[in-house]
Structure 1
């Protein structure tokens, strides 16, 4: 292998399953199979979990309800913070079950988590997923005090990969619409730029799990023929790297992997947020690639998770983890 993969991760690379996204139906079946076979973390009685359907995007008569999963720490007092969690999957894969482990982990830090089962491309291209996420955000803000016991001033949005794209886009959209105020945006390995022009995108054509060809294909699934077009063709709400004005956005946490084609767009977005006066924490993890955190026993993976947890705790005003309560 021509990449200096972390030595604790490298032996596992050959065992990782390649998901063939050229066939979306096959890819989804494989992801569901892998999700079902993976160990499912237990809440240990510390977090209550419930599924429900909430109203879909306002103003769209044919928009279906949005399925969400609500995680609430059992000991959480009224007024704890909340995280709107958006799963990854290249806009084409993923569901509430795939997102379960990470959503539960955030809830155990002491916040209510609303995990969103947004519509997927290519059947539902942009802006369907973003519309669903905005509907979930407005519902969360509206129900914060009356039914969820959440502090409406401490609502964060979080996601990884395509979920991070939706999270960043949601921060832009809510700012511009005068929607619910977000206190934090949490973006891991964010997918932000459909133009595919960065050094990392041009270089990492054969990286494990996720390479530049897969990135290009998923953008086409999401945006169709508009992918890579002009700013008039592709709005910033579809590809946040295109946003001209990043001022007034919530504080950000951005994490990128060294051998990820998405690396440089995450680095650039973090730099531009800083330049726009947005408090931003940035991490780059050497020897890692998109999806390498599946090797959970590696020291670098443990460091990634510890950094993420600390950022959530600090930005949402939680107590350092001792108990699973707020």
Structure 2
């Protein structure tokens, strides 16, 4: 692979692209109010220079819950597992959780956390997943603590996720999970890793046949040249410039290479055939909008099954910033309905 300087390095873009960019779609009123309440966001966006500061802020804003806290007074069984990496890579930490009173082999959500592949952890995403999905739907959850860039660039984080998936399915009986009902999922950068893992699993043929992939506002395309990437520059907490910093950290010298494999950036895939049913959702007012819509189109063109939701007036991470907003509640409900349907788990009324 031969790399090139990416857009974040200079933020110089083709004048014809800039001239054709239209104003950003309006924000949903509730979401706009929540975003405005955060104040000036200029210092909150990621740059190459403030990565250490942003990591510290992320840790402070998303404290890592303990296993006892996740057990929620005995409602969930939670274990931290260390599993061997592949090809002499370090061990991978998995956090395995399930409803404590559940019996029989459970379907499992194999989940990859967000954070631009440069921050975040496997624990902080679990309270919401356990509350929204594991408890109501009777699911087991495996959350992966993959190594982070730039200290560990591609393919290290993806290989961690792959090793954890193989180990989980290989020990399905001991874990009490159903290897025939696995959903691979993630949000933001975790959604991009989930898409990459599903492609890698399809092509290597050494893992399970997942029954679905759950891609929440996934980060798929390192080229950052879609209309929405330009249109939404400077909007919300995460935009084109922040995304470029994350991609550069993850891909290193391969960033922007013409021959970058789809396992590094799933939007590079030319064949989206043979994928499991896919759920994709994204906001109309976020940088990932068009690459997400294009990915759904690619699955449909290949004869696959994709359910796409574009939430009107939503910015990246809207449901975390404004969880009580009507649009956030609607998005959570749609995701839960899809998970229940794909796994054959009826949601309690």
Q: TM-score over 0.5 for the alignment?
A: yes
Asked if 2 retains the 8 angstrom alpha-carbon contact of 1:20 and 1:26, the reply is: no
Aligned length: 315
1:84 match: 110
Q: Deviations over 1:264-323 (max 9, x none)?
A: 00000001101111111110000110011120110000000000111111101112235x
Instruction: Quote the RMSD (CA, aligned, Å).
Output: 1.9
1:52 aligns with 2:81: yes
**Could you say which residue in structure 1 is the equivalent of 2:275?**
249
Q: Hey, what's the Cα distance between the residues in 1 that align with 2:25 and 2:282?
A: 16
Structure 2 counterpart SS, 1:253: strand
C-alpha separation in 1, matches of 2:250 and 2:134: 30
**SS in structure 1 at match of 2:297:** helix
Partner of 1:292: 318
Judge conservation of contact 1:35–1:97 (CA < 8 Å) in 2.
no
**For 1:175 and 1:87, how far apart are their aligned partners in 2?**
21
Q: Is the 8 A contact 2:45 2:242 kept in 1?
A: no
Q: Does 1:183 align with 2:205?
A: no
- Alignment correspondent of 2:56: 29
Cα displacement (A) at 1:203: 1.2
User: Does residue 304 of structure 2 align to residue 309 of structure 1?
Assistant: no
Partners of 1:150 and 1:42 in 2: how far apart? 18
* Paired residues of 1:106 and 1:113 also in contact (CA < 8 A): no
Q: How does 1:1-326 map to 2 (within 5 A)?
A: 4-16=26-38, 18-22=44-48, 23-36=50-63, 43=72, 45-56=74-85, 58-59=86-87, 61=88, 63-104=89-130, 105-108=132-135, 109-145=137-173, 147-179=174-206, 180-230=208-258, 232=259, 234-294=260-320, 295-321=322-348
| Cα distance change, pair 44–19 in 1 and its aligned pair in 2 (3 A) | farther
Return the alpha-carbon distance in structure 2 between the equivalents of residues 30 and 101 of structure 1: 19
Distance 1:21 1:44, change over 3 A: farther
Superposition TM-score, scaled by structure 2 size: 0.86
> 1:197 deviation in Å?
1.6
Q: Deviations over 1:230-271 (max 9, x none)?
A: 0x2x11001111111111111100001111111100000001
Give the CA deviation at 1:21. Answer: 4.3
Q: CA deviation at 1:36?
A: 2.6
Query: Judging changes above 3 Å, is the alpha-carbon distance between structure 1 residues 158 and 199 closer, same or farther for their aligned structure 2 residues?
Result: same
Provide the rounded CA distance (Å) in 2 between the counterparts of 1:14 and 1:260: 16
Give the TM-score normalised by the residue count of structure 1.
0.92
Q: Is contact 2:284–2:313 with CA below 8 Å preserved after alignment?
A: yes
In the aligned structure 2, how far is the partner of 1:248 from the partner of 1:208? Answer: 35
